[in-house]
Amino acid sequence: MKINKRKFVKILGFSALIILFPFNVIFPANKKIINPNLSKEQKKIMFNEGTEKPFTSDLLKEKRKGFYHCANCENKLFASNAKFDSGTGWPSFSEALPGAFKTKIDYSFGMKRLEYHCAKCGVHHGHVFNDGPKESGKRFCNNGLCLIFKPE
């Protein structure tokens, strides 16, 4: 995808891109591969803001106590007590650990959504919505492929 983006820039011209896309799409947060064992699918989600197919993550069934970490840099992101079954098919959490993520507004697919990425390595993890069931009111909808679960 990196090559495609470059080609795209060459074809359309840089100035046209500035007009067509918001600033943060053209100049995304610095992301780098820290875990050399990431799969193609993981890279697609983390570095190109992709989304895994719903109901495919093994973590949906994960009920043990522990913490969810970034699959790229191992940054600690969620505690197991924030996890809930949202029925959406993606691992869902009512709150993230303090400072775990940074957010930005994502305008793709004609929607305005709040995208969040790892505060440490910058990779994409998911979107946060305001329809969560717990006190926080938040629903962090996270790609399971971006997470590593470490039981307590």
Q: How far apart are CA 5 and CA 16, in angstroms?
A: 14
Binding flag, residue 70, Zn ion (CB under 5 A) = yes
Site for Zn ion in 23-42 (CB under 5 A): none
**Catalytic annotation, pick one of 70, 118, 121, 141:** 141
129 token code pair: 């919505």
- Asked if 116 and 127 touch (Cβ cutoff 8 Å), the reply is yes
Binding flag, residue 79, Zn ion (CB under 5 A) = no
Nearer to Zn ion, 83 or 120 (CB): 120
28 token code pair: 């995304």
Tell me whether residue 141 is one of the annotated catalytic residues: yes
- Shortest CB 73 distance to Zn ion, Å: 3
- Shortest CB 28 distance to Zn ion, Å: 14
Three-state SS for 61? helix
With CA atoms as reference, report the closest residue to 125 among 64, 75, 51.
51
Binding flag, residue 72, Zn ion (CB under 5 A) = yes
Q: Determine which residue in the list 38, 46, 121, 128 makes contact with Zn ion, applying CB under 5 A.
A: 121
HSE-CB of 58 using CA atoms within 13 angstroms: 7
Q: Which residues bind Zn ion (CB under 5 A)?
A: 70, 72-73, 75, 118, 120-121
- Catalytic residue positions? 141
